[in-house]
Structure 1
Amino acid sequence: MSSNEQAFHEQAHAVAGAFVAARREKRALTTYPGEAPSDLAAAYTIQNLAIGLDGRTVAGWKVGRINAPEDARLGADRLSGPIFADSVVSVQAGEAPEMPVFANGFAAAEAEFLLHVAPGWDGVVPADDAATRKVLDAVHVGIEVASSPYPGINADGPPVTISDFGNNAGMVIGPVLEGWESAAFETINVRFEIEGVEIASATTATMLDGPLGAVRFLLANLSARGIDCSGGTWVSTGAVTGVHPVVPGQNVLARFDGHGSVGCKIVAAQPV
């Protein structure tokens, strides 16, 4: 390893360690803890190191959009980040679990389709929607809770977002999407409410190649990074109605027309 490579690795390790420590201690970071990554390779290096330092079990992965012009500069239109098992909550209709966020960091909630890749995936990235459906064993409606100790996590660009677990802080798994095996995701209207007020509605027709495309992206991303998900994994496939900032104390609800709803209460993360 050259001296430059050694210096980069040490710097990336320090950034990863700072984020992991801040998350464990439930405290905000007023500035980015080191030199911010400017490309995907550096960003995922930090994320990989942080996953190792964190040590928790990864139950799934969030997929987010990279918008223009950053998509062209970075050579990717999506990004990924781990969802840890202890931040995943499954709910029945009408339940609203408390989901913690960093009160002085960044916090948002997003309505998402949650697709589960079945155990036994053979490592071949599906070529199209039909092949993608064959690697799944469940689809649910849900909410991704996005939160980071660093308030500028999204504003500073995709590499910074990637570097802190893709800005993920949890996932709420709602009802199963009945008929998911053949469901046309783009025909399902999704509405998002904060404190009982609808603030957005949309379908997946605006989301590149949709939830199934998000699964294909993730499998290719993990394969390129040498990450094994043959044991099965959740994929939170992207914000349908947008990224909605939230604050502790607010109740949020995602309605998937004809397929039920899922909600949660946002609370401030507290040190253990």
Structure 2
Amino acid sequence: MCSSLSSALSPSTVVTRLRAAGCVFAEDEAELLISAAQSPDALAAMVERRVVGLPLEHVIGWAEFCGLRIAVDAGVFVPRRRTEFLVAEAAALARPGAVVVDLCCGSGALGAALATALEGAELHAADIDPAAVRCARRNVGAVDGQVYEGDLYEPLPDALRGRVDVLLANTPYVPTEEIGLLPAEARIHEARVALDGGLDGLDVQRRVAAAAAQWLAPGGHLLVETSERQAPVTVETFAGNGLIPRVVTSDELYATVVVGTRPAGDPHAPE
């Protein structure tokens, strides 16, 4: 840290202000803010934004996800660490050169991380939120992927039907009546469309599952993140739409993922 920055706002002062604002990892956050600031005035402004409640990732402009630095613009859903489990499960199922689609992509973190882990992956991503699409184009473009704006499958190229090996869909799954219980960072500063899953939290997930078999290649996989409480309903939804479901969990990350596989011998022709 340069001396001019130090004299303007010391690390200990930054930590004190962050801790007083309720930041649990004040020391770590202070280090990130100081390293990201280009001037003493910039640091002061960043600390103020964080103190009044903006997510750290929106303040510094990026989030760490699967070892990558993912650009995260204001208002865009911040990728959660627990979702790294979904990417790891997808990577274990996929092969080099796989066709990957990331629906409800937000910043594009999942698709970018999976494409980074898979040699020669063909990546496509989509989101209905224009701000998310703009952000995702930076992250997905960095791994030679394409991003489309629109509702779920609607903007995807028709040529992808029946060709998708891995379909990632980190759909919103918070029940509408529980949105008010979320931390203020999410409730106030992230797009509601990225959080609100409808009455039981599974409205968008049902829509994804209903059309998945049309887009998946035989033997292809749909992966969604959900809660332990919601997983049984997700399993029923997948099975009802011709997918073979299974549930995988991570106690360490408190993550629940449901994987639905289109049977390899499925005679269904994409419509």
Fold similarity call, TM over 0.5: no
Identify which of structures 1 and 2 has the higher relative contact order when contacts are C-alpha pairs closer than 8 Å and 6+ apart: 1
Which of 1 and 2 has greater Rg?
Answer: 2
More helix by share: 2
Normalised to the residue count of structure 1, the TM-score between the two structures is 0.29
Normalised to the residue count of structure 2, the TM-score between the two structures is 0.29
